C-alpha cells in the first residue's frame, strides 16, 4: 500500500511540475501581457512567460 501511495504522489508531483510549462499556459501569459502591457504588473507577466519558455 505504501509503494502505491508513493508512486501516486510522484505522479501528482510530476503533473504539477509540467502544468505551468504547457503551451496553453504560456499563451495565456503572452495574451495577458499583450492586453496589459502598460500596467504595473506587465513586467511580472513577461518574466513569468520567459521563465516558462525553457
The string of pLDDT tens digits covering residues 8-31 is 777 777 776 777 778 888 899 999
pLDDT score of 1: 57
pTM of the model: 0.62
Across 27-54, average pLDDT: 91
Rg (CA), the chain: 16
**Cell matching residue 44:** 511580472
Listed residue (25, 21, 30, 17) closest to 54, CA to CA: 21
Backbone angles phi, psi at 41, to 5 degrees: -95, 5
**Which pLDDT belongs to residue 33?**
94
Give the number of other CB atoms < 10 A from CB of residue 28.
13
Mean pLDDT of 26-45: 93
Contact 29, 49 (CB under 8 A): yes
Give the distance between the most distant pair of CA atoms in the chain: 53
Amino acid at each position: 500500500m505504501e509503494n502505491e501511495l508513493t508512486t501516486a504522489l510522484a505522479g501528482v508531483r510530476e503533473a504539477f511540475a509540467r502544468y505551468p510549462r504547457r503551451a496553453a499556459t504560456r499563451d495565456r501569459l503572452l495574451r495577458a501581457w499583450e492586453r496589459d502591457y502598460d500596467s504595473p504588473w506587465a513586467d511580472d507577466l513577461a518574466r513569468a512567460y520567459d521563465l516558462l519558455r525553457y
